[in-house]
Amino acid sequence: MQNEKLGRALAARLDELAQSGRAKGKETVICGIAPARGGEGPRYLVEGGGDRLFLRMNANNYLGMASRAEVVAAEAAAAARFGVGPGAVRFIAGTWSPHVDLERRLAAFHARPAAMLFSSAYAAVLGTVAPLISDGAAVISDELNHNCIINAVALGRPAMKHVYKHLDLGELERALERAAAKHARAIVITDGVFSMRGDHAPLDRIVALTRKYDDAFSEGAIVVVDDSHGVGALGKSGRGVEEHVSSAPADLLIATLGKAFGVNGGYVVGGDTVIRYLRETSPLYVYSNPIAPGEAAAAHAAVEILDSPEGLALLEHLRAMTARFKAGLLKLGCETLPGEHPVAPLLTRDSQRTLALTAELRKGGVLATGLAYPVVPKGQEEIRFQISADHTQSDIDFALAALSAALSALEGGLSAAP
């Protein structure tokens, strides 16, 4: 039975979260998928929604790989051959041939010597960053970095931590100068794409700046980038922010299999020595089961599709649908952020309007994510739309029509940028 005193304490905390607007609340449960037909992409059944079909504009499935027939077939075939789970951690007979094949394929895709799988991208960040934070390490991090980076740095407890203003490379350089005076190692860490906004780091300049200070540190200065939202969504061939900005390679690139590749898991690519070190020291790798062999086979199939003429066509379509949607936002008089990334924020800058607009969109058959204070800072409230290669022109137009109707229902309160 539940301890009553603990229950009361936790209930009070839950009430506090709800009253402050930070509670996630009841989850939307997807019950089924209606396949694409008649010029429309897939539609989704939602628990409690009866037979009504919804357009999903809040998924990270940027290339539509999650339900792609070849990817599903690859997972089914591997599951039939190897079973549905690895049955152990990697060093205790938990490494199956699909894991090794996928690691080799990811290393080749990113033109790195080695790759290493984790159970999730969150685990990949924690399991990569924390073991690299030595007693004499300085960590320098963008203020809008993802929660996984924040927790990875906290877990590593660096000798120096500096959080610089978003994309402020002047402040980044001053932090490197200060760190060089007393620290042996510098780790500059950034998101590739900042998931709430869809903007990206100037990785080319960050890498060049960090290289400039490398000689000032006895153990070097490195760049770690989490490009989970960039890989498969940015760059001519989908290789992420590095390709998009023509950057020299980051020392370590972390990404996910659960967004553009449509499966599950995370990974890091880098040099042989650092990957071998992480295999020996990263607790989230050493003591945690890997993804299932079937998932690894499915991810391998997704990488093969992306790294092909068909993948280039998917990326071109994704860019076209993203441009169409963002142009539609501007035509409606909405404020958004420029860029090619398929995260398309509608800046509402008001929490109540955000929640009301999200609810109206749902009434119109569109699932989108409302981000209100204090999840985001006051004045930065938004509706986050996410475009997929699964979306058609008809889907984009449907979403924009639903948005127009939602704005009208709210008496135009959000129709003009502030």
- Asked if residues 201 and 192 have their Cβ atoms less than 8 Å apart, the reply is yes
Decide: pTM greater than 0.75: yes
For the chain, domain boundaries: 69-307
Catalytic residue annotation: 195, 229, 259
Q: What string of pLDDT tens digits covers the 418 residues of the chain?
A: 788 899 999 999 998 888 877 777 888 999 999 999 999 999 999 999 999 999 999 999 999 999 999 999 999 999 999 999 999 999 999 999 999 999 999 999 999 999 999 999 999 999 999 999 988 899 999 999 999 999 999 999 999 999 999 999 999 999 999 999 999 999 999 999 998 888 999 999 999 999 999 999 999 999 999 999 999 999 999 999 999 999 999 999 999 999 999 999 999 999 999 999 999 999 999 999 999 999 999 999 999 999 999 999 999 999 999 999 999 999 999 999 999 999 999 999 988 899 899 999 999 999 999 988 877 888 889 999 999 999 999 999 999 999 999 999 987 554 444 4
What's the rounded Cα separation, in Å, for the pair 367 and 358?
A: 8
Strand partners for 64: none
Q: For residue 34, which of 65, 49, 55 has the smallest C-alpha distance?
A: 55
pLDDT of 22 reads: 76
Q: For residue 361, which of 6, 152, 55, 127 has the smallest C-alpha distance?
A: 55
Letter for the amino acid at 20? S
What's the rounded Cα separation, in Å, for the pair 107 and 157?
A: 29
Q: How many residues does the chain have?
A: 418
Ramachandran bin of 341, using left for φ above 0, alpha for ψ from -120 to 50, beta for the remaining angles: beta
Distances (CA, A) of 396 to 91, 226, 325: 47, 29, 6
What's the rounded Cα separation, in Å, for the pair 390 and 215?
A: 47
Contacts of 39 (CB under 8 A, 6+ apart): 392, 393, 394
Contacts of 72 (CB under 8 A, 6+ apart): 298
DSSP state of 66: G
- Asked if residues 392 and 41 have their Cβ atoms less than 8 Å apart, the reply is yes
Fold of 69-307: Aspartate Aminotransferase; domain 2 (3.40.640)
